[in-house]
Structure 1
Amino acid sequence: MHPRPSSIACAGLLVLPMLLAGCSARHGADQGNAQVAQRAAGPARQLAYEHEVDIDTAPERVATTQAAGLRACRDATAAACTLLASSIEGEPNAAATLKFRARPDVIPKLVAAMGQHAELARQATRAEDLSAPIVDAARQVAMLDDYRTRLEALRTRAGNDIEALIKVNHELAEVQANYEAAAGKRALLAQRVETEILDVSIRSERHRSFWTPIGRALREFGGHLAEGISTAITGLAYLIPWLLLMSVLGWGGRRLWRRRRGGKISAG
């Protein structure tokens, strides 16, 4: 006598937690073996690099320097360089910023392209070790993939049992959502390791002439004077009510003092 499909499906549903626990235990054993092998071979570090570059140039060449960086990134393939942010400010405070994500071999080309029109003032590099997050993400993806395969097998065995199919499909939907999230996280971590960030700041501090700040101050004199007058008028508007209040209080206090003094004289 063969078991009914509903009995098989219900039995399959009862082992769902056992499947997950068994999957976790198996991957825990795999992780232990992997850790032993890693200790023997030495840790492979996954580093994500970020570079900061400050470039100084003449005020009239800030836009040219920024354009050179944009052109160098555009000349590379889309997979090799991506522009993440860009801004520029005109005179009197000429400045620009750029932010790229590029392959390690493209980063020096970007800096060299902008260095043709300017002077490299400062360069800094920092790294973040993503070895542990990458291993955790890969382990989670593998565990969810295995669990999803087992759930699909249970769905096949469920046959025409609608209730069992609903439960399995619901569990499959949750596992699929978690799998896609974990896979996306793993892909993002891999991208951070395979590519690097370059933050560029273009200034014109060293190349400004002696008269540049003076000329700027003269040009802004009218505006500063207007702001000073407006501030004084605003302060006066706040001060007038207090002056009136102090005058009334002073007048009342003086009258009260005179009245008390007159009373003392009459009593004497």
Structure 2
Amino acid sequence: MRYVRLRRVGAIVLVGALATACSDPSASANGMVHSARGGAQTDNADGALLAYEHSVGVQLDGAMIVPRLQAIQAACSEARFGTCVLIEAQQSAGERPSARAVLRMAPAGIEPMIALAGEGGEAGERSTRAEDLAVVVRDNTTEQDRLTKEMARLQAFESRPDLSVADMIALSERIAATEAQIEAARRDGAQHRRRIETQLLTVELRARNGEQGRSEIGAAFREFGSTLATGTAWTIRVSAFLLPLAIVCVALFALLRAWWRRRRRG
């Protein structure tokens, strides 16, 4: 009897899964596409859901790089140009100062943030790329809909009074697995919406080309003593390494010369 009930549980779960899989996903998928379109970049007629990424380089005076990075961080934390999350911030001081900031922002704040980063500097390279997430969003919506229907069927079956302990254990395991799948699908969907509704901006701050050249010349003068010491030490090591070989070569040359002279006399 227990075996028959387990088979009945499995059959009902399988029928529910097949019925969900065969259902038409177009309505729910289109609903997700249209709901996500509120904050997305979807002005093209084919319904694309675009996730934009921008990269910009700015050349500044070396002394301005760290304060400019701090200004970018402050503008982001204060949401001066809209929603903003600082993902990464790096700075390198020394002879060739540079800094890097990676931000996820509201689309309307991209250009003001770029203007802030380039204030008083020279704009360098800039690139923009977009990834269409329409298919990914549709598939995720379909998966969430399927899992939700399967969960409803499992919960309805759970309320039956004729289930044995073994049936309840098997059903509980199936419900827990389905809940985990639903949660994972929801996290993926939230990540997709975040990528569509906001945009990624990477700002590279570098010292001006002329300033980099001057810093390299100054560094060369400052490193003159250490470079001279390194070169002298290297020359001494090479001389010590080659001295035995030179002695052997001189001895061989003397022997060959003596042999040649005896041969000519003979």
State TM-score, norm by structure 1: 0.76
SS of 2:108's equivalent in the other structure is coil
- Structure 2 CA distance for aligned equivalents of residues 189 and 86 of structure 1: 24
- Structure 2 CA distance for aligned equivalents of residues 231 and 163 of structure 1: 80
Partner of 2:216 in structure 1? 213
- Amino acid aligned to 2:142: R
- Structure 2 CA distance for aligned equivalents of residues 115 and 148 of structure 1: 53
**Contact kept in structure 2, 1:95 and 1:203, CA below 8 Å:** yes
- Structure 1 CA distance for aligned equivalents of residues 154 and 92 of structure 2: 57
Is the counterpart of residue 53 in structure 1 residue 56 in structure 2?
yes
- For residue 151 of structure 2, the aligned residue among 131, 143, 148 is 148
Structure 2 spans left out of the alignment, 5+ residues: 34-43, 260-266
Matches within 5 A, 1:137-216: 137-208=140-211, 211-216=214-219
Percent sequence identity over aligned pairs: 25
- For residue 31 of structure 1, the aligned residue among 14, 23, 26 is 26
- Structure 2 CA distance for aligned equivalents of residues 53 and 141 of structure 1: 37
- Structure 2 CA distance for aligned equivalents of residues 182 and 230 of structure 1: 64
- Structure 2 CA distance for aligned equivalents of residues 17 and 234 of structure 1: 79
State TM-score, norm by structure 2: 0.77
Q: Which moved more, 1:45-54 or 1:60-69?
A: 60-69
Structure 1 spans left out of the alignment, 5+ residues: 256-260, 262-268
**Contact kept in structure 1, 2:5 and 2:163, CA below 8 Å:** no
- For residue 107 of structure 1, the aligned residue among 101, 107, 110 is 110
Shift of 1:174: 1.1
Q: Which moved more, 1:118-127 or 1:46-55?
A: 118-127
Deviation string 1:200-220 (CA, Å, 9 cap, x unpaired) is: 110113351864332121112
- For residue 132 of structure 1, the aligned residue among 116, 135, 143 is 135
Q: Which runs of 4+ in 1 moved over 6 A?
A: 4-9, 32-35, 233-237, 243-248
- Structure 1 CA distance for aligned equivalents of residues 150 and 19 of structure 2: 10
Q: Cα RMSD (Å) of the superposition?
A: 3.6
**Contact kept in structure 1, 2:60 and 2:120, CA below 8 Å:** yes
- Amino acid aligned to 2:15: M
SS of 1:91's equivalent in the other structure is coil
- Structure 1 CA distance for aligned equivalents of residues 208 and 124 of structure 2: 10
